[in-house]
Amino acid sequence: MRVRLGVGAVILETRTLGMKRGGMAGQPFIYNGQGFSLQRDKNRFVLPNVFRGTVRESSGKDVVYLTMHDRWPCLIGFGASRINEFGEELEKLQEVALRSGNTGFDGDKLASDMYSSYDVPFDGSGRFVLPEDLAALGGVSDQLYFRGNGKFFTAWAPEQLYAMDDGWRMAQTACRSLAAKELAKAKKK
């Protein structure tokens, strides 16, 4: 069981292997996998197919919710069903803070951060325009690396990911490999 405060938090969750992606009452939508996108025409990125279906299923439409991660220099994305979990998570965090004597817990500030995500529409091919302020906060220019993280996925500017410590080596290696493939494809066009 893990407890962590913040928007990208996995709150009081016991992880089990083989959990299905949504569909059954009470089960969360799970984001698993990775992808890479170069910024394309009309300043659009492409939400990787590996996440697109989960977002659609969770949101009931072609909208992804994006915000900054609370500790890492990246964005996080999720479907609308995740927002429905925030109230319960806030209550649990308040309870944990009270039991542990955390007098600095600010539920209103945390709620403000959690409920301030951007709803970003994407088309049938996954193309979306990243809001300028999120791009600036995440250090995003013309490339995004996507990585599944369970209840949400992360979206990294490669430079931000490469600046992380050695514990991120697996993600850094995958990002470099996927970037090289996408850049090679773009050169052929």
The pTM of the whole model exceeds 0.75: yes
Burial 117-132, CB ≥16 within 10 A → b, else e: beebebeeebbbebee
pLDDT score at 70: 86
Residue 175: closest CA among 30, 43, 34: 34
The pLDDT mean for the chain works out to 87
Contacts of 144 (CB under 8 A, 6+ apart): 36, 37, 39, 45, 130, 155, 156, 157
* Per-residue confidence band for 148, with pLDDT thresholds at 50, 70 and 90: very high
List the domains of the chain with CATH numbers.
Answer: 34-188 (3.40.1550.20)
pLDDT score at 113: 86
Q: What is the pLDDT of residues 26-43, one digit of tens each?
A: 578 999 999 999 999 999
* Per-residue confidence band for 14, with pLDDT thresholds at 50, 70 and 90: very low
pLDDT score at 169: 98
pLDDT score at 9: 44
Decide which of 26 and 9 is more confident: 26
Helix axes 49-59, 80-100, angle to 10 degrees: 80
pLDDT score at 2: 39
Question: What gap in Å lies between CA 58 and CA 123, rounded to an integer?
Answer: 16
User: Token digits for 95?
Assistant: 């309870």
Give yes or no for a contact between 92 and 12, defined as CB atoms under 8 angstroms apart.
yes
10 has a pLDDT exceeding 60: no
